Amino acid sequence: MADNIKIKNIYYMLSYAFQTLRETGLDNVASEDFDNIHDLFAAILVRGVGTQVKRGLHRDYLQCEEILAGVRGQIRVSETIKQTQAQGRLVCAYDEFVPDSPHNRALKSVMLLLLRHGNVKPENKKALRKLLTYFSEVTEIAPAVIRWDALKYHRNNVSYRMLMGICRLTVKGLLLTTEKGTHRLATWFQDEAMHRLYEKFVLAYYVRHHSNFQPKPASIDWDISDEARNPYLPRMKSDITLQNGEKRLIIDAKWYERTMQENRGKKTYKSEHLYQIYAYVKNSDKSATGNVAGVLLYARTDESITPDADMTIGGNRISLKTLDLNCDWKAITAQLDNLCGWLS
């Protein structure tokens, strides 16, 4: 499925999902041609990490424990007593302010991953090797052990947020499986990672270009009486909700290998997706005004038949659309713009 997307369009999607790509001057990457996603990620990291190196790598306090002749930090009394072979010395615990932080470990790990296994142009490989010389004090770790959700951001390291996002997608796109001491590589993101990027891109596009429609994910309450409320009801939350006065458009972004279902040779729309968007719309339109509409927005696949329909079901407009990410960028943005035309 990912083969249906131009590499340059992936950059544009990333630039919306990670606004700092533009804010840090990395928009010049768009002027380059890339044969594959590995080289695109390498180019982004070369520029992003290069900028970070000029600012200075983020440093953090690392707890160390060492046998010393003098006192440094806190004395470990019980450990010192056990050191019978080191008389006159103390076991001390102290904090050292070093660049060996979890964020820098992740950066180093992913740059090495691209060097060793990515399909990267020689000039970008050379630039990555040069940058790695600034990471000599940073511990090398395996990409699989990076705890992405545990990485914290604050005022001093907020510039790492976009870099970590690119690193995470890189690891997803270069999945390692060990087999007889060798590595086999997947050539693209897992569907889960790509779905998140696609959803984030669509939301960010509307935030940037149609802020007047107040784009945001929104929780939808079940249309039931307070007396009938049940704690076991599943939560409903839209990917994107656009609002203009009394009109509301609920968009659900879908990234799947197959956009249609098939039973005994007959193709139909995916029933669970229709049920989902219908539930969102009807429960959002509690007064049955018809002012709430829903869109299932699929990323185009190589299927001969893909969703493209506008229907009125139960008094509400329900649309199924397919966004072709392998066409010219202007055609992509035109389709996204047209989707919200119903609100005007």
- For residue 88, what pLDDT is reported? 67
Is residue 184 very low, low, confident or very high in pLDDT (cuts 50, 70, 90)? very low
Beta strands in the chain (DSSP E): 60-68, 74-75, 90-98, 176-179, 182-185, 219-220, 236-237, 240-244, 247-254, 260-263, 266-269, 292-299, 309-313, 316-323
- Please count the other Cβ atoms lying within 10 Å of the Cβ belonging to residue 218: 18
Q: Mean pLDDT, to the nearest integer, of 255-280?
A: 94
DSSP string, 137-188: TSPP--GGG--GGG----TTTTTHHHHHHHHHHHHHHT-EEEETTEEEE-SS
User: Who wins on pLDDT, 283 or 80?
Assistant: 283
The pLDDT score that the predictor gives to residue 273 is 97
Q: Which two tokens stand for residue 297?
A: 């927005």
Q: State whether CATH 3.40.1350.10 applies to domain 193-343.
A: yes
Confidence of residue 70 (pLDDT cuts 50, 70, 90): confident
Domain limits of the chain? 2-58+101-189, 60-98, 193-343
> Stretch 179-207: mean pLDDT, rounded?
69
The per-residue pLDDT for 140 is 93
> Do β-strands 74-75 and 90-98 pair in parallel, antiparallel, or remain unpaired?
antiparallel
For residues 263 and 94, the model is more confident at 263
Q: What is the pLDDT of residues 72-91, one digit of tens each?
A: 767 777 776 676 555 667 78
